[in-house]
Amino acid sequence: MIDLHTHSVFSDGTTTPEENVRLAQRSGLSGLALTDHDTLQGWPRADRAAQRAGIDFVPGVELSCELDGRGVHLLGYWVDADDAALSAECDRLRQERDRRAGEIIDLLARHGVHVDPAAVRARAAGAPLGRPHVAAVLVDMGVVADVDAAFDEWLGDGRPAFAQKRALSPVDGVRLLRGAGGVAVIAHPGVSEVVTADLVAQLAAAGLAGVEGDHAAHDDDQVRYWRAVAAELGLAVTGSSDFHGERKDARIGQRTTPRAVVDRLRAHCLQVRAV
């Protein structure tokens, strides 16, 4: 079994790629994907660690997209690390995340919460700036009790300090990931309020290969629902923890994807490249 969605310090996780591999090995997994937000920079370290540990490494990325002012996340696997269009979008998103962090800090200040931008940058330690980094600083400051409260009270979608990243539409995101030689899977469809079965059908028409139906944040009904949507559209169903280290409860290996599904996704990706 393979956990197809994990984060590291290369985005907003708290563990190194080597630690993710070790945790995967300890959980008895045969493979692990690293899917940091909008960056591929953790791949070489995860790849080396996985080789040493004797488990499979699936190179991935969680690409930020946007629909109706809300975030939609796509997982891309086996994309070409040298693809110019994907690299340009990741670079642009990094700058956009810097801009948005400033906007969030301004919104917080308007509500009397004064966050030091340098503290947020220090938390990210060079990774693309995410809301969890701002949340961690709010916890440090004693403004909120924990990261969840930071999202509930301030940073979550539609909350007082919510600011959206400008990003591609999910249809264009699927095209970008496919154009980079990879396969695209819609991440945690039950978590994003703008992700509907209709949207997934549109994405399937654009070349989406799978649905992350078995995500750690989905309850049993959501898993059943998204499995049915995927079956209807002939898409693969993946399972994953969306591990973020200490920033979330999910553990590596809590939800997994069978090897046969990973093989099917890989075949889909090689097929696309052959066309």
Distance CA 12, CA 9 (A): 6
3-state SS, residue 28: coil
Of these partners, Fe ion, Zn ion, ligand AMP, none, which one is at the site of residue 131 (CB under 5 to 8 Å by kind)? ligand AMP
Is residue 244 a contact point for ligand AMP (CB under 6 A)?
A: yes
Between residues 73 and 165, which has the closer beta carbon with respect to Fe ion? 73
Show Cβ contacts of residue 31 under 8 Å, excluding neighbours closer than 6 positions: 2, 3, 24, 50, 55, 56, 57, 58, 259, 262
Distance CA 193, CA 189 (A): 8
Overall residue count recorded for the chain in this entry: 275
Is residue 212 a contact point for Zn ion (CB under 5 A)?
A: no
Binders of ligand AMP among residues 27 to 86 (CB under 6 A) are 37, 64, 71
Binders of Fe ion among residues 3 to 22 (CB under 5 A) are none
Count of CB atoms situated within 10 Å of the CB of 124: 21
Q: Measured from the CB of residue 248, what is the shortest distance to Zn ion in angstroms?
A: 8
Is residue 12 a contact point for ligand AMP (CB under 6 A)?
A: yes
Show Cβ contacts of residue 48 under 8 Å, excluding neighbours closer than 6 positions: none
CB 72 within 8 A of CB 196: no
Is residue 255 a contact point for ligand AMP (CB under 6 A)?
A: no
Question: Residues 16, 27, 121, 156: which binds ligand AMP (CB under 6 A)?
Answer: 156
Between residues 62 and 66, which has the closer beta carbon with respect to Fe ion? 62
Is residue 96 a contact point for Zn ion (CB under 5 A)?
A: no
Count of CB atoms situated within 10 Å of the CB of 44: 12
Question: Residues 42, 60, 132, 181: which binds ligand AMP (CB under 6 A)?
Answer: 132
Binding site for ligand AMP (CB under 6 A): 12, 37, 64, 71, 130-132, 147-148, 151, 156, 244
Binding site for Zn ion (CB under 5 A): 12
